[in-house]
Amino acid sequence: MKVAFFDAKPYDKPSFDRFGKEAGVSFKYFETKLNEDTVELAHDVDAVCVFVNDTVNAAVIDRLVEMGVRTVALRCAGFNNVDMKYAHGRVHVLRVPAYSPYAVAEHTMAMLLTSIRRIHKAYIRTRDFNFSLAGMTGFDLHGKTVGVVGTGRIGRVFIDICRGFGMKVLAYDKFPAQGLDNGDTIRYVELDELFRNSDIISLHCPLTEDTYHLVDAETLEKCKRGVVLLNTSRGALVDAEALLAGIKSRKVGAACLDVYEEESDFFFEDFSGHILEDDTLARLISMPNVIVTSHQAFLTEEALSNIAQTTIENLVTFQKTGECPNELCFRGGCAEDCKTGKCF
């Protein structure tokens, strides 16, 4: 099987080549992202393999179908970059639902600790032999309340980590997990209560029409003064302009962002030496209480290996049987992952 692999990075190739060779799948690697202009590169392949910032919209889907390419293998969990309604009945969309929830949850905690204990500042200071502690005061996580939006695979691992720190958890999910709420240290609440009563808020839900700008000026208004916002899920869950305003007004105490609404123009690329065109991103990065990583929460050895293995298993299983347990299952009108696996 021949697969066009878009948005290829050097760290992708070793594991995809290794597992691909074993399974008889060969990859044509393209550094460019998939979009209307680059879709022609898929003219002689059986499937395309795409990542978070490739565009699989109606125009791309139409051209893929014209070229006889009916399989889109996402090498990620999120699928907001695919027009799923349009894909229905035209192309089959396979994804990697879980590769290492630990990678993302641990990165989220790493960012939180870095931020509130000023590790990023201390690293720079001590390298300069500046051993002053001025401005380094942090706060204990023990006893604080963390609001977790989305209690799926990553959200639940993050809750476990927070519980290890002795934090209380307020959780919200459109589909609450059975048995998670213990009526005491972990409680499901409405979003409004979560926003009002959390010291730290961490987003682990998918980006859908429901969750677009879940954190905006109105929701930030409800939050405690000094709230810490963590977003390692999808950029557009947060209205970046509203966040910037919240930081300037001191309502938001700190923000840790692994994702950004307009990240596809910048993240994963080297812009050092250039003038950053996005004023909001530049201003956010310039804030002493904002930490930005460029969508790297997934990037562990374990996750890369699992991503390659599952993507290739998906492709091979689908080619052999015409079915795949990791095919995204959407009816035309269904707005989110219905989890039945049956309705496509």
Q: Which are the catalytic amino acids? A: 234, 263, 295
Give the pair of three-digit tokens for residue 73. 């293998």
Residue ranges in 42-81 that form contacts with ligand NAI under rule CB under 6 A: 77-78
175 part of the interface to ligand NAI, by CB under 6 A: yes
Residue of minimal Cβ distance to ligand NAI: 152
336 part of the interface to ligand NAI, by CB under 6 A: yes
213 part of the interface to ligand NAI, by CB under 6 A: no
104 part of the interface to ligand NAI, by CB under 6 A: yes
263 part of the interface to ligand NAI, by CB under 6 A: no
312 part of the interface to ligand NAI, by CB under 6 A: no
Residues 81, 52 contacting (CB under 8 angstroms): yes
* Integer Cα distance of 229 and 119 in angstroms: 17
Who contacts 234 (Cβ-Cβ below 8 Å, separation ≥6)?
Answer: 78, 80, 206, 207, 259
Residue among 201 and 259 whose Cβ is closer to ligand NAI: 259
Residue among 42 and 195 whose Cβ is closer to ligand NAI: 195
Residues 206, 232 contacting (CB under 8 angstroms): no
* Residue type, position 335, single letter: A
Phi, psi for 309 (deg, rounded to 5): -60, -50
How many C-beta neighbours within 10 Å does residue 339 have?
8
- Please, what's the b/e burial string for 28-52 (b: 16 or more CB within 10 A of its CB; e: otherwise)? bbbeebbbeebbeebeebbbbbbbb
Residue among 3 and 154 whose Cβ is closer to ligand NAI: 154
210 part of the interface to ligand NAI, by CB under 6 A: yes
Which of residues 112, 167, 200, 205 is near ligand NAI by CB under 6 A? 205
Which of residues 106, 173, 181, 216 is near ligand NAI by CB under 6 A? 173
Interacting residues toward ligand NAI by CB under 6 A: 77-78, 98, 101, 104, 149-155, 172-175, 204-206, 208, 210-211, 232-234, 258-259, 295, 297-298, 336
